[in-house]
Amino acid sequence: MKRLIAIVLLGCAVFGLYSCAPKQAKKPTIVVWHWMTDRQAAFEQLAGEYEQKTGIKINFELYAPSDAYSQKTRAAAQCNTLPDIFGILAEKRVFASFVKAGHVLDLYPYMQQDGRSWQDSFFAKALAVNEFSQDNSYGVQPGIYGVPLDITTIQMIYNKDLFDEMGLDSDKPPQNFEEFLAVGRQIKQAGLQGMVAGLAEIWMIDCLANNFAFNIMGRNKVLATIRGEVAYTDPDWIKVLSLFKQMQDEGLLADGIVIMVNKVAEQLFANGRAVFAFNGSWCVNVYHSMNPALNYGVMLPPKINSEYPLSIWGGAGSSFMVNARSENREQVVEFLKWLTAEEQQAYLAQATNNLPSNKECLDDISPALAQFADDMDLTTHPNTWGVSELPLVTEAWNKGIQSIIIGEKTPQEVAVLVQVVKERELAKKRQ
């Protein structure tokens, strides 16, 4: 019996000692959700390097297409099952809802550490897209809620070979709208297709129209319209709408552009089937994968007048947000600091042909990409405006432009229709 008691006591002692021994903390696994099919291989390469360096495993989970990804993040937000790192593919008001629902960590304190070294490594415009300022109209606590991975500018691209074919100087693309229309007439004569763009996608048509609007009436008037202080029936807005009619009449818009999604537009341009494209800097990678021999140049959208500066959409291309409910917040932030550091950003820029968000890496980019980077100073982004247009107004505006292109409505009719929707939505908001 005594022997039995001794064995039990010994067992307890061994078990107790084992339990009290200092355990090595288990390294977490960080899960990242993203939609960037072209970057998965590069992300996995970086994840491997990070695991080797720190022992922390990074799982990059790809969900594509972007529509499906967007739906997945919303569903996950409703169920509180968002991963450690995710991206929000939507307008600022949706981003604001994610923040207000407590899903996104404010990175401002981390950005301020070490004398703001992390914050200062980014292009200010790239960071601004993820920022909510003191006086933001969304009711969000001021802060920085995302880390820009890359930057982008959306511009016009032209096919140099087709320019040569039409007898135009391929080093001198049109600078203003008159010259642009003149090229349109030559395109028509040559039986070629003019500009391709994903005008079936609301954001793309909005982007092109905004380029024109900023140049015609200036930023303040555009923002005043969004706030409801200027009507869409204002002559300047009708002028913006009329440009689409002019472009259509002069043969500048490719046939079927109103039902064209950007992927199709990219294919057509890459295969030399259109003279112009309206696309973002990500297209460098896309065109290269579709047709490495494509000979193209980048140009700013044609200037309408010289009273107001030309603005193009740009800033952060894709950003990552940190789940505020993640148990691994600190490790996640450390990983993002590493991912956006110079070396990793240079690798991403080189491997994926995207403009890096870290401003120290711009020297390493390809000449094609450099053409997009040159005009970074002209960029603006709806996420930095502080106000968002009401969604049904945006829809009415974009569908209205489509109906002008297909000749169903006049610019004046569309302006009136959009204003009706605007007033109705504003009245609803006031209730």
Taking residue 250's Cβ as centre, other Cβ atoms within 10 Å add up to 18
Tell me how far, at minimum, the Cβ of 166 lies from other proteins, in Å. 18
- Rounded CA-CA distance 67/395 in Å is 17
Give 99 or 365: the residue with its C-beta nearer to other proteins.
Answer: 99
Residues of this chain that interact with other proteins (CB under 8 A) are 67, 70-71, 74, 77-78, 90, 93-94, 97-98, 100-101, 103, 193, 200, 202, 254-259, 261, 273, 391-392, 395, 399, 402-403, 406, 408, 424
Q: How far is CA 357 from CA 44, 285, 341, 379, 406, in A?
A: 19, 16, 10, 14, 39
Tell me how far, at minimum, the Cβ of 429 lies from other proteins, in Å. 11
Q: Which two tokens stand for residue 149?
A: 């991975």
Give 172 or 263: the residue with its C-beta nearer to other proteins.
Answer: 263
Give 154 or 257: the residue with its C-beta nearer to other proteins.
Answer: 257
Give 13 or 261: the residue with its C-beta nearer to other proteins.
Answer: 261
Give 327 or 408: the residue with its C-beta nearer to other proteins.
Answer: 408
Tell me how far, at minimum, the Cβ of 122 lies from other proteins, in Å. 26
- Rounded CA-CA distance 411/245 in Å is 8
Give 94 or 231: the residue with its C-beta nearer to other proteins.
Answer: 94
Tell me how far, at minimum, the Cβ of 92 lies from other proteins, in Å. 12
- Rounded CA-CA distance 288/421 in Å is 42
Tell me how far, at minimum, the Cβ of 105 lies from other proteins, in Å. 16
CB–CB of 184/250 below 8 Å? Answer: yes
Report the SS3 class of residue 276.
strand
- Burial of 377 per CB tally in 10 Å (0-12, 13-18, 19+): exposed
Tell me how far, at minimum, the Cβ of 79 lies from other proteins, in Å. 11
Give 57 or 74: the residue with its C-beta nearer to other proteins.
Answer: 74
Ramachandran class of 80: left when φ > 0, alpha when ψ lies in -120 to 50, beta otherwise:
left
CB–CB of 185/251 below 8 Å? Answer: yes
Tell me how far, at minimum, the Cβ of 193 lies from other proteins, in Å. 7
- Rounded CA-CA distance 345/363 in Å is 12
Tell me how far, at minimum, the Cβ of 51 lies from other proteins, in Å. 32
CB–CB of 196/258 below 8 Å? Answer: no
CB–CB of 311/211 below 8 Å? Answer: yes
Give 273 or 288: the residue with its C-beta nearer to other proteins.
Answer: 273
